[in-house]
Structure 1
Amino acid sequence: MTQYLIYFNQQWVGDHSPEWFAARGPLANAVVSDLRDAGALVFAAGVHEDDDAAFTADATSGTTVITSGAFAPAEQRIGGLTIIDVADDDTAKEWAGRIAEACGWPQEVRQVS
């Protein structure tokens, strides 16, 4: 089995009404439930959108510096992620497609190594 990260950046979501988002929640929860039932779910969650609640750890200078706030601009912020453990790329693509359909925005998939 191989683990895959399925994720989206917040800017991929687009502008939608509160009602539109409310309708997507049950669809996304159903896919996560199906992943769990299939034994493929490792972890799934949305990422808190408040950049002020984020912090950054940076050791590129040789000394670790912790700062408040996001490291990357908001348009590069991850909005949510799902980690699955499945047999192959084709199975990961199937699950990513279901997640994309449920959420209503694109998902990127990368194998975890």
Structure 2
Amino acid sequence: MSQYIIYFNQQWVGGHSEEWFKGRGPLAKAVVQEMKDAGVYVFAGGLEEDIDKAFSADATSGRLELTDGPFAETKEFLGGLTVVDVADDDAAKLWAGKVAEACGWPQEVRQIG
């Protein structure tokens, strides 16, 4: 078994009404429950949408520096993630597809090394 991260950037979500989001919540929860029932679920969660509430830790200078805000100025930032423990790429693709359909926006998948 291998672990894969299924994730999306917040900007991929797009602009939708509150009603639209309310309709997606039960679909996403159902996919998470399906993952749990299948024994592949490791973790899933959305991240704080306000990037200004992020903070960074950087020790590349040889001294730890903690700062408010994101590490780098960027137009895209992580919005949420799911981690699954599955047999192979095909199984990871299957779950990524289910997450994408339930959420209504694209997902990217990478194996955790």
TM-score range normalised by the length of the shorter chain: over 0.9
Deviations 1:61-107 (A, max 9, x none): 22110001122346321000000000110010000000000000000
Deviations 1:13-53 (A, max 9, x none): 00011111110000000000000000000000000112232
Do the aligned partners of residues 19 and 54 (structure 1) sit closer, same or farther apart at CA in structure 2, a change above 3 Å counting? same
Does the alignment pair 1:46 with 2:46? Answer: yes
Could you say which residue in structure 1 is the equivalent of 2:6? 6
Runs of 4+ in 1 over 6 A off after TM superposition: none
What is the 5 A alignment of 1:1-113? 1-73=1-73, 75-113=75-113
Amino acid at match of 1:66: L
Q: Aligned pair in 2 of structure 1 residues 23, 73: CA closer, same or farther (>3 Å)?
A: farther
* Structure-2-length-normalised TM-score: 0.95
CA distance in 1, matches of 2:20, 2:110: 28
Q: Shift of the alpha carbon at 1:2?
A: 0.4
CA RMSD across the alignment: 1.1
Q: Percent identity?
A: 65
Listed as ranges, the gaps of 5+ residues in structure 2 are none
Q: CA contact under 8 A between 1:9 and 1:75: conserved in structure 2?
A: no
For residue 75 of structure 1, give the secondary structure of its aligned residue in structure 2.
coil
SS at match of 1:63: coil
CA distance in 2, matches of 1:72, 1:81: 20
Kept in 2: contact 1:44–1:81 (CA 8 A): yes
Normalising by structure 1, report the TM-score: 0.95
